[in-house]
Chain A
């Protein structure tokens, strides 16, 4: 058993693909039409074999969950970065809104931004060895 798949709920798949590739910089992987929606996944340009699927929040339960997390300020998922300050500057310059600027949480640096698809996303930088 392996962990190779993660998903984020998005309120609009086309908008999500534009943000996750154009702004965040992930690479498009799969994009398969499935009836009323699409099976869309992206992957990191920095390697690894994990895929992130951009999943529609059309189910009312999914939407309620997503909106409750946003209202409470809780990130839906987290991505690891090498240089959190550089990523923060890059995304800020691209117009991304942060709810938490880079801050130290124990040995780890974290920051949180809005992904334009209804979620808060955390980025984190692990301490150098």
Chain B
């Protein structure tokens, strides 16, 4: 049973894991703040949120990085460091595994879609059911992630879904 107290502690831990200012906080410390042993924390977090705390933290970093890249803010290296990765190489590998293309290729592809500097391309912030309309109205974006993955990610282990 997921009690109210446990739900709120897991919710706060999730926010902490997504916080770029807390990117150096050890998972054991996040678990301690949630009042659980690391083992119990990892098991419970994964059962409720579908990712381990580590997977969730990496996913949030990659999503923030993707937004920064789409906004044209900073170099790939600067983006990697600012979201909490320790090396640009590790960042590029993780980005490619998740999104099917290297960060540099993503940025090149997205920049022409920038309506105005500093403003997110609409397809990165889909509104309610906006995808339905977008499916028909934006052919320039119709190339699927799997096609990109096959073309640009060299390792056969690179695919969009997580293990």
Binding site for B on A (CB under 8 A): 5, 7, 11-12, 14-15, 18-19, 32-39, 53, 55-56, 58-60, 62, 67, 70-71, 73, 95-99, 101, 114, 116-118
Contact = CB atoms under 8 A, between A and B. Distances in A.
Nearest to B132: A39
Given A14-B162, A55-B126, A114-B48, A35 B138 contact: yes
A58 B7 contact: no
A53 B2 CA distance: 26
Contact of A36 (B51, B123, B129): B123
A55 B51 contact: no
Contacts of A36: 123-124, 141, 145
Interface size class on chain B is 35 or more
A33 B146 contact: yes
Interface string B137-163: 010011111100000000000001110
Interface string B1-28: 1111001100100010000000000000
A62 B138 CA distance: 22
A33 B51 contact: no
Contacts of A99: 1-4, 7
B134 interface: yes
A32 B145 CA distance: 11
B126 A59 contact: yes
B48 A35 contact: no
Given A34-B135, A55-B129, A101-B1, A73 B50 contact: no
Given A35-B134, A36-B124, A70-B11, A116 B129 contact: no
Interface of B: 1-4, 7-8, 11, 15, 44, 47-51, 59, 63, 123-129, 131-132, 134-135, 138, 141-146, 160-162
23 contacts: A7-B128, A12-B51, A14-B160, A15-B50, A34-B123, A34-B142, A36-B123, A36-B145, A37-B123, A55-B128, A55-B129, A55-B131, A58-B63, A62-B127, A67-B15, A70-B7, A95-B47, A98-B1, A99-B3, A101-B1, A114-B2, A116-B47, A116-B49
Contact of B145 (A33, A58, A60, A62): A33
Nearest to B139: A35
A6 to B, nearest CB: 10
Nearest to A5: B129
A32 B64 CA distance: 24
Contacts of A116: 47-50
